[in-house]
Structure 1
Amino acid sequence: MKRIIGHIFSPLHHLGFFLVLIIFQPIQWLCYKLGGYKAHKSSVDIMNFFLLIPYYFVFDFISFKNEQNLPIDRPIIFVANHQSMYDIPPLIYFLRKYHAKFISKIELTKNIPSISFNLKYGGGANIDRSDKKQSLGEIMKLGQRMRDNNWSTVIFPEGTRSKTGKMKEFQIGGIATILKKAPNALIVPIAIENSWKMVRYGLFWLNAFIPLKFTVLTPIEPAGKDIVELVKELEIAVKNVVEKDLD
């Protein structure tokens, strides 16, 4: 039944999602040109609020739980598992006060309304996965911007999305590189549950009545910790939530 209802209402979801992207393309441009970073970021935050609404068109519900008292006067590296593209808008919107930036494939900076513009001018890192030198340089520049502006970043250390909800091993590369440039960053794990179920039948035919859950877990101070042990600690913390009742 969930699958059938999801298939019926998926076109409505896609139409709503696409319209938001189309409408905010000129809004982003205008905000960036007239008001710079601050105005542009506000437009992106508002856009991502509206991008959450089409989730409900297929009766998928979002729960974002953050009971941590996180600072806004130091960089934060949010480390999360990754299950689908529908992880992104809730993270941008609910982490908006932390100025969370993403590491994205450079291919996404072209030809996608609103998304490409934000990736180009929003302050994140756009990497060419076939060019390790370019990728490293971009991530280091992101780390420097985080340190200079007390920005944050969201890293998906699995490398690729999980299509079954079962987590892949966390890699140390991105976290270690950013810590070199922003050694005062706080590490905060986030557990994402069930977004893979939303797209289990593909991106076009969505599943309905899926509770998407985002849980901000206990922060970890990286100072004095071995990077390998630190990343494993993050992986275990997230896995304990994500896979506790995986079906």
Structure 2
Amino acid sequence: MKKIIDYLLSLLYAIHFGVTLLVFHVIQVVAYKIFGPKAHKKSVDYLNFSLNFGLYLTGASITFRQSEPLPDHRPIIFIANHQSMFDISALFWFLRKYHPRFVSKIELAHGIPSISYNLRKSKAAIIDRKDGKKALVEIARLGKLIHDEKSAAVIFPEGTRTASGNMKTFQPGGVATLLKRAPDALIVPVAINGTGKMNPKGLFPLRSFTNLSWTVLPGIEPTGKNLDDVLSEAHEAIRKELKFH
């Protein structure tokens, strides 16, 4: 019976997901071309609101926690574990105040309504994993952008999704490059829990009635510290939070 419910609710969300991408693709294009980047950013906020809270259609519970206030006029590098594609819409929405841009693989930059357009127009770091040199140049560009704007970057330093929740070692390259161009940035770990359990096989079927949570943990000052130590501290903070839940 549970499997039947999973399929029915997954179908309902899949329809919502597809319609949302198509509708907001048009909204984004109009917003960007007629009203400019600020209007485009607002449209992307509500795109991700719809994608995230549409998960209520599957019976999911959605929880966001923030351990402490974050600075408004300082670049932030959010470091998160990565369980599934559903990690991203919640981070966009809940962290929208900080204008987050993602480090994203190049395959997502074309062919996906709404998502591809936003990646290209929002000045996200779009990287080709087969070309490490160009990837670092692109991440460095993002680092300078968040430094100049006092905005935020989001990076998944595991380098791939780990749906099981068993985190992989954080790779230093991307974070190091961001910090070189934004040396005054605050490192902020984010623990994501439940999204991998919800979709172990991709978009369909989803597991209904899954508990999902995003927890912003206390920031880590990187100044004067070895980067490996900073990443180890962030990794351990996220691991403890996941274990707690």
Give the secondary-structure state (helix, strand or coil) at the position aligned to 2:206: coil
Q: What is the deviation of 1:4?
A: 3.5
2:169 aligns with 169
CA distance in 1, matches of 2:52, 2:3: 20
Does the C-alpha gap of structure 1 residues 192 and 2 become closer, same or farther in structure 2, counting only changes over 3 Å?
farther
Q: What is the deviation of 1:241?
A: 1.0
1:133 aligns with 133
Provide, for residues 140-170 of structure 1, a one-character-per-residue CA deviation record: whole Å limited to 9, x for no partner: 0000100111110111111110021111111
TM-score (normalizing by structure 1)? 0.96
CA distance in 1, matches of 2:163, 2:188: 24
1:239 aligns with 239
Q: Percent identity?
A: 49
CA distance in 2, matches of 1:2, 1:158: 32
1:191 aligns with 191
Structure 1 letter corresponding to 2:229: E
2:16 aligns with 16
Q: What is the deviation of 1:120?
A: 0.4
CA distance in 2, matches of 1:3, 1:148: 50
Does the C-alpha gap of structure 1 residues 120 and 202 become closer, same or farther in structure 2, counting only changes over 3 Å?
closer
Q: Does 1:212 align with 2:212?
A: yes
CA distance in 2, matches of 1:129, 1:2: 39
1:224 aligns with 224
Does the C-alpha gap of structure 1 residues 202 and 26 become closer, same or farther in structure 2, counting only changes over 3 Å?
closer
Structure 2 letter corresponding to 1:43: S
CA contact (8 A) 1:198 1:210 kept: yes
Give the secondary-structure state (helix, strand or coil) at the position aligned to 1:243: helix
CA distance in 2, matches of 1:46, 1:60: 19
Which segments of structure 1 move beyond 4 Å, counting only runs of 4 or more?
none
Listed as ranges, the matches of 1:60-209 within 5 Å are 60-209=60-209
CA distance in 2, matches of 1:50, 1:74: 28
CA distance in 1, matches of 2:132, 2:115: 24
Structure 2 letter corresponding to 1:164: S
CA distance in 2, matches of 1:2, 1:180: 50
CA contact (8 A) 2:14 2:203 kept: no
Does the C-alpha gap of structure 1 residues 161 and 44 become closer, same or farther in structure 2, counting only changes over 3 Å?
same
What's the C-alpha RMSD, in Å, of the aligned pairs?
1.2
Does the C-alpha gap of structure 1 residues 2 and 149 become closer, same or farther in structure 2, counting only changes over 3 Å?
farther
Give the secondary-structure state (helix, strand or coil) at the position aligned to 1:187: strand
CA distance in 2, matches of 1:122, 1:200: 29
CA contact (8 A) 1:124 1:142 kept: yes
Q: What is the deviation of 1:35?
A: 2.2
CA distance in 2, matches of 1:159, 1:4: 34
CA distance in 1, matches of 2:183, 2:92: 23
CA contact (8 A) 2:52 2:86 kept: no
Where in structure 1 are there 5+ consecutive unaligned residues? none
CA contact (8 A) 1:2 1:209 kept: no
CA contact (8 A) 1:31 1:39 kept: yes
Q: What is the deviation of 1:177?
A: 0.5
Where in structure 2 are there 5+ consecutive unaligned residues? none
The count of aligned residue pairs is 245
Structure 2 letter corresponding to 1:12: L
TM-score (normalizing by structure 2)? 0.97
CA distance in 2, matches of 1:186, 1:100: 13
CA distance in 2, matches of 1:171, 1:201: 26
Q: What is the deviation of 1:30?
A: 1.0
CA distance in 2, matches of 1:202, 1:40: 28
